[in-house]
Amino acid sequence: MNAPQRHNSFRLDSYWMPFTANRQFKASPRLLARAEGMYYTSDDNRQILDGTAGLWCVNAGHGRREIAEAVGRQLSTMDYAPSFQMGHPIAFEFAERLAAIAPGGPSADLDHVFFTGSGSESVDTALKMAIAYQRAIGQGTRTRLIGRERGYHGVGFGGVTVGGILNNRRVFPQLPGADHLRHTHDPVRNAFVKGQPEHGAELADDLERLVALHGAETIAAVIVEPVAGSTGVLIPPKGYLERLRAICDRHGILLIFDEVITGFGRLGAPFAVDYFGVVPDLVTTAKGLTNGAIPMGAVFASRKVHDALMQGPESQIELFHGYTYSGHPAACAAGLATLSIYRQEGLLTRAAEIESYWHEAIHTLKGLPNVIDIRTIGLIAGIELESRAGAPGSRAYDAFVDCFEKGLLIRVTGDIIALSPPLIIEKPQIDAIIETLSDALKRVA
């Protein structure tokens, strides 16, 4: 057996790291020690430009004192309080503030907020709400959930069931009956596009195929990411989401948008619902909800879904669902402080201001070795590389390591590089991303 790896004063082997090649990492660790604004500092004191907002969550940049102070104040006032048959004011206050900026504005009616602890929990919550809603309106046969190939909806059994990533699914059993729409990625017709691609709205008709196959009366809900992030930035073709909404309406199927990464300003509008102008029945969020400072998620439920469940004897719990940390006071404090920063600094629409510079800069990478597609929307970019023969993923991984050594954090999924910097990014930092990344792409050619 290998000797346990040591790093400075501690051993690395006790911590079983998530979504990590543990043995490879521990043989050559990358440790982040501090963070401020647009930068991390590594444990060997190097500045690392954050090209990914942590994991798509630190939208207002790192080290925001207002959030730290609000959390500190809350923890010393009341550290924890249960949310089952009890309440605490800050959770109601936060829900009300969120309802005021809810996806789609007042006419969308997505103004009831259920708190969770993460994106995965938000997804499982929304799926359960959808099934419970159908039952409440007398459609109890509708239990089937529809996801989409190349979708990512977290790691709960519900999320894995509707997700469409082989490695997340192959080892684990899934909920019975689920099915998947085809994904929308079409590099033959849509390569090197800024914003929404022209071709592919008809892929939404795949839902008609599933209705014909299973019967609408078996389908509770469809869940999609408006922009798929984890499988390499897949942007919905023009007209696709509208068509999906229309088909759902036609067949009494609820539509769920998973906005865990698009929520809170990533596209240049508060939510993808606002950006695309398509209103679903449920919206899942997390990440940017608290600027990543405290784990938390929230599901925005439409009045239709909420009200259908507020039936029966008033002494009865309407939805048998919730988490110990639903509405955690410290998370609510972090969220309230985060919303104030977003409002004061205009961050929920900042991406729209810098988007054209971002698009132009990223698309200058076209023509570099092995770059076979570039996709950009809001402050997101996906750069797809030609895989090395027999070693898929290795080229992008090498680029990731190279960038990290040169002071830039990027994210890779297979051979796709995904960028999603904090929404406070300035033009010189965009230039720095391009410079470091293009050097890396030349080195891994």
Ligand X SMILES: Cc1ncc(COP(=O)(O)O)c(C=O)c1O
Task: Give me the residues that bind ligand X (CB under 6 A), please.
Answer: 118-120, 123, 152-154, 225, 229-230, 258, 260-261, 286
> Which CB, 228 or 440, lies closer to ligand X?
228
Minimum distance from CB of 123 to ligand X (Å)?
Answer: 5
Minimum distance from CB of 116 to ligand X (Å)?
Answer: 9
Minimum distance from CB of 221 to ligand X (Å)?
Answer: 15
> Which CB, 229 or 329, lies closer to ligand X?
229
Minimum distance from CB of 285 to ligand X (Å)?
Answer: 9
Structure tokens at 236: 């919905």
Q: Contact, 258 vs 121, CB < 8 A?
A: no
Q: Contact, 299 vs 125, CB < 8 A?
A: yes
> Which CB, 161 or 436, lies closer to ligand X?
161
> Which CB, 164 or 237, lies closer to ligand X?
164
Minimum distance from CB of 144 to ligand X (Å)?
Answer: 20
**Amino acid letter at 2?**
N
In 10 A of CB 187, how many CB atoms? Answer: 13
Minimum distance from CB of 163 to ligand X (Å)?
Answer: 8
> Which CB, 216 or 412, lies closer to ligand X?
412
Minimum distance from CB of 229 to ligand X (Å)?
Answer: 5
Closest CA to 363 of 353, 351, 377, 350: 377
Helix (H, G, I), strand (E, B) or coil at 94: helix
Minimum distance from CB of 113 to ligand X (Å)?
Answer: 17
Q: Contact, 22 vs 33, CB < 8 A?
A: no
- Which position's Cβ is nearest ligand X? 119
> Which CB, 136 or 162, lies closer to ligand X?
162
> Which CB, 118 or 436, lies closer to ligand X?
118
> Which CB, 255 or 261, lies closer to ligand X?
261
The C-alpha atoms of residue 177 and residue 196 are separated, in whole angstroms, by 32
For residue 347, the number of C-alpha atoms closer than 13 Å in the C-beta half-sphere is 24
> Which CB, 179 or 258, lies closer to ligand X?
258
For residue 97, the number of C-alpha atoms closer than 13 Å in the C-beta half-sphere is 18
> Which CB, 150 or 306, lies closer to ligand X?
150
Helix (H, G, I), strand (E, B) or coil at 284: strand
Minimum distance from CB of 224 to ligand X (Å)?
Answer: 9
Minimum distance from CB of 297 to ligand X (Å)?
Answer: 6
Distances (CA, A) of 339 to 171, 288, 441: 39, 9, 37
Helices 240-251 and 206-214 cross at an angle (nearest 10°) of 20
Contacts by 209-215, CB closer than 8 A, 24 or more apart: 210/146, 210/179, 210/181, 211/247, 211/251, 211/253, 213/179, 214/144, 214/177, 214/179
The C-alpha atoms of residue 110 and residue 155 are separated, in whole angstroms, by 25
Structure tokens at 18: 């998530």
Burial class (CB in 10 A: 0-12, 13-18, 19+), 263: buried
The C-alpha atoms of residue 75 and residue 64 are separated, in whole angstroms, by 17
